[in-house]
Structure 1
Amino acid sequence: MKNLQPAKLMIFGISLVFLTQCKKDQQLLGNENHQTITQNDSITAAKADSVKKAEEEKSKVTYRSIIFPKNKKDSAMSAFKKEFSAEEQYTILALNRLDSKNSWRADTLSIPDKIDPTLMAYSPFPAEVETLSNVKKMVFFSYPIQAYALYEKGKLIKWGPTSMGKKSAQTKRGLMFANWKKELAISTVDSEWKLPFNVNVHNTLGIGWHQYDLPGFPASHSCLRLLMADAKFLYNWVDTWILNKGGATLKANGTPVIVFGDYNWGGKKPWKYLSDDSNSNDISLDEINDIIKPHLDKILKEQQNREEVLSQKATEEQKPAA
């Protein structure tokens, strides 16, 4: 029995070390879990702060109206151009769904008390949409407020004005995907119409977004008109379709696009209510979620397919030539 004592002591010592190490490992694991939770909480808090800040900045903006009487439109426009710089005019006109070429059409302009060239301070779209957190890129075009919005992983990165299809040639609603793009396309309606930075979203109907006149109301032949700077940005930002060899069949879709809502044809333009209520143009988070949910599974499925196609392509390109 005495000869067994050293062995027992050794086993006891090893067990003590093991138990001590386990306790340390549990403490470390607990610390790591605590750090991970803390980091996640910090990220969530930072995102919440970012959204809150955007909402606070937006809530601080107030608007006034400038009226352009028919019999004094030239003098009123002259006063407008004298009061604001070219950059400020561009921002104000964009907010009123106009470009400089069509500024003469203005009868009333909503003027913000703060000029933000990015337009983000006036965004009618939610700053963050959690439903889209797994969607890499998403485009919305709203008929009611004649505006587009771009999201990356559920975060609004850009929005701006548009002119969509007129009443007799309305833009198709629903989910579509970016197909091909061309830096300068020619309209199939009229060969004299040049369409810079064209991105097709419905190949058979010939619908796409591109730069063209913004007259302050839906005026296109079903396409989605944009300001030149916006058209160029979207052209470089969007992902287009991937075709099989020979280009005969579709292999993967491009960036998802949803066109939604209806315009108040013949009614007062929504952005003209801003002086009465700075939130009058807003699209709520609930509304956006209702628009997304019927299409979310399809969007994620197409996104996964695209990633697999790109992964397979990259693997094939790395293979040595036979």
Structure 2
Amino acid sequence: MKRITGFILLSTFILTSCNKEETIPNATLKRTIPERKKPKSFTYSYLDIKKVNIDSLKQEELDIILGVNRMDETNIKKTDSILVPTDLSGDITYYLPFPFEIKALDSVKKIIFFSYPSETFATYEYGILTHEGPTNMGKEIALTPTGLFFTNWKAKETISTVNDEWHLKWNFNIANGLGVGFHQYELPGYPASHSCMRLREKDAKMLYNFAEQWVLENEDSVKVKGTPVIIFGKYDFKAPKPWLALKTDPNALKTTEDELNRIIKPHIKTIKKEEKIRDAYTTNKN
């Protein structure tokens, strides 16, 4: 969705205690490692939706099933069959593909990733995974652009300029001239958007509050950029849904730290440069 403005274009380990803080080497910052409950060894079954009592699930269990199937509450009840893990007792991050830590980002305050091939997103704070969930990105005729972006303006609710019947809630734009951003909208379980990154409402609200807005010098100049967002990978629209591979291999979609390091490498200098600019602005402002 586009906004008409004068602005420029813009690990696998268990923590059984409470959230833990550690000091980052060679830094004065502290980061919190979330508590994670590891499920027992599990596999996936592809079940008729009639055999799954969705309404009887605990919220944490429902979140896992929705995450695994890249759907929202409304659409999962409309489908025929869904993937269901045999053990739903773990933290959702064990069922989704991002690694628990990226050491190359241990001095980066905040960053957001969107994975096109796995249709998932993740947030990291000082290199530690803090949130992960499903997304539905651009369909084949309206691909979501990939690369490094920065969050800019946000709105609790706005109207798409592509179609004025589309009300976009918890919208955060990342490419002002292109009209691309992330927001709450229905998740049918496959790339279906007009290039934006669709999210469940709870995830859209979280990202809305997590990311920073830009700071403008004037209508035509950005003084401070927002939170870095990296969108990566390609989706094979002619192949079966990638997550169906979990039926035979529960680790089929895992994204390793090394893979993300290769994706981050061309952008890390820019990310750290923009973070220094924001830090200096914040210090001077205070």
Do the two structures share a fold, i.e. TM-score over 0.5? yes
Matched, 1:100 2:73: yes
Count of residue correspondences: 258
Change (3 A) 1:117 1:99: farther
* In structure 2, C-alpha distance between the alignment counterparts of 1:250 and 1:214, rounded to whole Å: 33
| 1:57 matched residue in structure 2 | 38
What SS is found at the alignment partner of 1:272?
A: helix
Given candidates 139, 161, 170, the residue that maps to 2:143 is 170
Residue correspondence of structure 1 range 245-284 to structure 2 within 5 A: 246-284=218-256
Change in 2 beyond 3 A, CA 1:175/1:41: closer
Contact 1:162 1:225 in 2 (8 A): yes
From the superposition, tell whether residues 233 and 41 of structure 1 become closer, same or farther in structure 2 (CA, over 3 Å). closer
Q: Do the aligned partners of 1:61 and 1:278 also contact (CA within 8 Å) in 2?
A: no
Following superposition, the deviation at residue 121 of structure 1 comes to: 2.5
TM-score by length of structure 2 reads: 0.83
Write the letter of the residue equivalent to 2:143.
Q
CA distance in 1, matches of 2:238, 2:24: 49
Task: Give secondary structure in 1 for the equivalent of 2:45.
Answer: strand
1:204 positional shift:
0.4
The question of 1:297 aligning with 2:277 is answered no
Show CA shifts across 1:235-265 (max 9, x none): 0111111112x44421010100000000121
Contact 2:65 2:84 in 1 (8 A): yes
Residue 85 (structure 1) aligns with: 57
- Equivalent in the alignment of 1:190: 163
CA positional deviation for 1:150: 0.3
- CA drift of 1:104 comes to 4.3
Cα deviation per residue 1:100-131 (whole Å; 9 max; x = unaligned)?
21124534322122325851221311100000
Aligned twin of 1:66: 46
Instruction: For 1:146-165, list aligned pairs within 5 A.
Output: 146-165=119-138
Preserved CA contact (<8 Å) 1:243 1:249: yes
Determine helix, strand or coil for the equivalent of 2:273.
helix
**Residue from 86, 107, 114 that aligns with 1:113:** 86
Q: 2:14 is matched with which residue? A: none
2: CA distance, partners of 1:82 / 1:138: 33
Report the CA distance between 1:90 and its aligned residue. 4.3
CA offsets per residue over residues 210-246 of structure 1, 9 Å max, x none? 00011111000000000000000110111111112x4
The residue type paired with residue 283 of structure 2 is S
**Structure 1 pair 105/145, CA: closer, same or farther in 2 (3 Å)?**
farther
The structure that is strand-richer by fraction is 2
Are residues 302 and 40 of structure 1, via their aligned partners in 2, closer, same or farther at CA, if it must alter by over 3 Å? closer
Tell me if the contact between 2:215 and 2:225 (Cα under 8 Å) persists in the aligned partners. yes
CA distance in 2, matches of 1:277, 1:215: 23
- The Cα RMSD (Å) is 2.6
Contact 2:107 2:126 in 1 (8 A): yes
Mark the structure with the bigger radius of gyration. 1
Distance 1:40-1:190 versus aligned 2 partners, 3 A rule: closer
State the alpha-carbon separation in 2 of the partners of residues 115 and 189 from structure 1: 39
Question: How far does the alpha carbon of each residue in 1:67-117 deviate from its partner, in whole angstroms, 9 at most, with x for none?
Answer: 43xxxxxxxx33312684263344312221011211245343221223258
SS in structure 2 opposite 1:234?
A: helix
d(CA) in 1 for partners of 2:245, 2:141:
26
1:184-223 correspondence to structure 2 within 5 Å = 184-223=157-196
What's the secondary structure of 1:145's corresponding residue? Answer: coil
Q: Partner of 1:169: helix, strand, or coil?
A: coil
Give the Cα–Cα distance (whole angstroms) in 2 for the partners of residues 198 and 221 of structure 1: 14
Give yes or no for contact 2:47–2:84 (8 Å, CA) kept in 1.
Answer: no
For residues 223-238 of structure 1, the aligned pairs below 5 Å read 223-238=196-211
1:61–1:121 Cα contact (<8 Å) kept? no
User: Are 2:45 and 2:86, in contact at CA under 8 Å, matched by a contact in 1?
Assistant: no
Q: Distance in 2 between matches of 1:282 and 1:288?
A: 11
SS in structure 2 of the partner of residue 294 of structure 1: coil
